[in-house]
Structure 1
Amino acid sequence: MDHLIKGYREFRSRRWPEERERYTDLAHNGQKPEYLVIACSDSRSDPATIFNAHPGELFVIRNVAAVVPPYETDDTHHGTSAAIAFAVLSLNVRNILVMGHAQCGGVAAALDNSIAESVPFLGRWIELLAPAATHSAHIADHAAHHVAMERDCVRLSLERLMTFPFVAERVRAGKLQLDGGRFGIADGKLELLDRKSGSFVTVD
């Protein structure tokens, strides 16, 4: 905990004074983020850092590989789906960004069953990426296959978002925009999915 306590003290001495009024407003008036970011749990790919965001600007969901599961109405536990519903229906976010990243361990697990089998719960979760793995299976080069699948996983999650009735309804009404992205850990560059071409384009 020593490192975390040190970071907290730096936050209190540096950032808290700068953000005090913002935090006070958020405490009294609640959060009204415009953006929902669905990102990977990977410690190297933090949306708040990448987008230089202030408190209250982003509602963030993080899980292994930034996966959006299909819309389901059974009575099991749906952490990611519950957070999506809360962001859209309660917070009225205007934009959803699904952001994958380079060197994703979740994607690596989807390509190598031995990884998924060695970690409890991971195998069933990673099965959700199977359609993306199939789509890029023709790529022989391992590194290129990995990159292609990282991008295909983002596309798959965007498709699944549209299976949520309340998401699809707002998208069709022009009240909600869906975007996809991929962050490069080594170079710090962000790619966004171009709607017209279907390709990922690096942001200048």
Structure 2
Amino acid sequence: MASVIHIKDRRTRLRETLVQLVQDLMASEGLGAVQARRLAQLAGCSVGAIYNVFPDLNDLILTANVDTLDRLLAQQRTALERLPPHATRTAQLVALALATVNFAHDFEPAWRALYDHRGGAQKPYPDWYAALHVRPVTMIERIILAEEPNAAAGHETSRLARGLWSALLGIVVDGMDTRKDRQKRDEIEAQASLLVTIAAQGLEAILEMRRKG
């Protein structure tokens, strides 16, 4: 029994070590630096040992990405908490958008791994990982509904939140690919702010028509 517990503890420690190594490599060198042989050397184990605790390298990368997503969400929540009480929907969406841009700029290699990596043959995310990626969308849904206490989250709200988040990601990814340094950050911030402001204004117009109708 003691030997079984020891083996489980050793596997747990190796798993934690590998996740941390992947996070460090992605943060410093990017996704391309994550290779099984290099991880084995850094962890002091065999390549085979990696696949004893993870089914494949893709699963290991996705597990490491969870920490990046958690940090992104924490930065978004902090930005919202810093707003004055009763901040408008537009102000909240702008704060969330700018927090996203700043995170992507400050942690670019990890950010790229979070949204660029899909595994071999561009296969879909596993269900558990896809569910985690929905959390920023859920945050946007809450902002949309905050000023409409009688409204219920439905397909329309979910569709709007998903579309807004996808558009925001597109601005960030495209901007980081085509611009450099401070100019890149300023321009992406401006585009992101404009996007969510227009979306919020459009939503306000729709809600106002519904109130009058």
Bigger CA radius of gyration: 2
Instruction: Name whichever structure is richer in strand by fraction.
Output: 1
Q: Same fold (TM over 0.5)?
A: no
